[in-house]
Amino acid sequence: MHVRDRLFIGGRWTAPAGTGVIEVVSPHTEEVIGRVPEGTEADIDRAVAAARQAFDHGPWPRMTPAERAEILGRLSAIYAERQQQMADLITAEMGSPILFSVFGQSAIPQQVLQYYVDLAASYTWEEERRGMLGPVTVTREPVGVVAAIVPWNVPQFTLMLKLAPALIAGCTVVAKPSPETPLDAYLLAEWMLEAGMPEGVVSFVPAGREVGAYLVAHPGVDKVSFTGSTAAGRRIGAVCGEHLKRCTLELGGKSAAILLEDADVATTMEGLKTASLMNNGEACAAQTRILAPRSRYEEIADALASMVGSLQVGDPADYSTEIGPLVARRQQERVEGYIRLGQEEGAKIVTGGLTRPHDRGWYVAPTVFADVDNSMRIAREEIFGPVLVLIPYEDEADAIRIANDSEYGLGGSVWTADVEHGVQVARQIRTGSCGVNMYVLDPNTPFGGFKSSGIGRELGPEGLVPYLEHKSIPRPA
């Protein structure tokens, strides 16, 4: 049992202002495995005040990037040594299969942190330009106090996409972990103290939506970075627009995997295990629309049903498990609701369905729908579970049309024997990223969405820019 009675505010363990408690429930056993204080608006006030003081008067934004990188480098080294501890904890709190957790829930967040530590040495923080009337110094300065609001599905990854560039830039951060997954933030806070993070620079206040909304609108916050649903992102964007706060929004997706005529089906099925079903399908960039040429539709339908139907479903802490439980009962019921909806819309279940794999735990059988039209709700709405829809297309132009016929534009992939041609097709997909014969997120490259999938980019040098303000200092020749 993981029990905490303090909040991490301004780099100190502090008694909460309220008496509320968040219970962390195992998605596998349905038993309580942890308790932490539930943050309140008063706790947010204290956290923002600490961040404001540290930014306006403290050393952190006045250090050189190299000095900040030295402290964050120590944190990265601690993280690298203890990745397994983080992976085990996240698997316990949200049900991610441990094989995925080792890579996606702990190794990749550490790699993102290390990437920004290394970037600090090569990034252009200041430059001289020749102006019309004389020389101009152009500097990059930290944007200020950042509110980082992260979801439960990949809590450390989405947190590090915000925390690492913000801290390297010189910002101070108030982060709100999801109430489903607060435990990993406590572990990271301990590592931060060990690394020597200065007082006031980082706070973690786990809380629900209302407290998150209070943080977004807080007058002491200069920038909001949010990962979550498109509906919540629209509300946050509206508030930030009203207050002229800078914001980055990484939102939903309904990504398409296009199998071209020449795709090797066996190899593609192996790739789709990760691209489409990573993290139990609880991933915004999951390739959940599978587009197959009509000439090979039955072959691909059989192969997809066989692959998905053979996945090992069970205890997420078991290294043989490929699909674990969903994060909460409400998520289980939501996904099962979409399976019923797909049947009502006339799609055909070729594997999976409403039979639960286990009596205990929030499990959903991995499911594939065939005979799906792209106008169906199961093809247009983000289900966020292990449910795939197989959509036929007539020719390549039709495949591109279907892939782009979505309000979302986050990810995508093209599967083909001709990689160069696959790149040509990928260029025509209106998404922030589109892989060829794979789908991965690389710390060195920008990630984000077109259309309703968000605003701005994370990762790469592009992920640092939103945490900086450019200042021009002209002077006489």
- Candidate list 93, 180, 250, 458, residue with the active-site label: 250
Residue 171 a catalytic site member: no
Nearest-angstrom CA–CA distance, 224 and 133: 37
Residue 250 a catalytic site member: yes
Q: Which of 40, 50, 49, 66 is nearest to 11 (CA)?
A: 50
- Candidate list 171, 240, 247, 284, residue with the active-site label: 284
Residues acting as catalytic residues: 250, 284
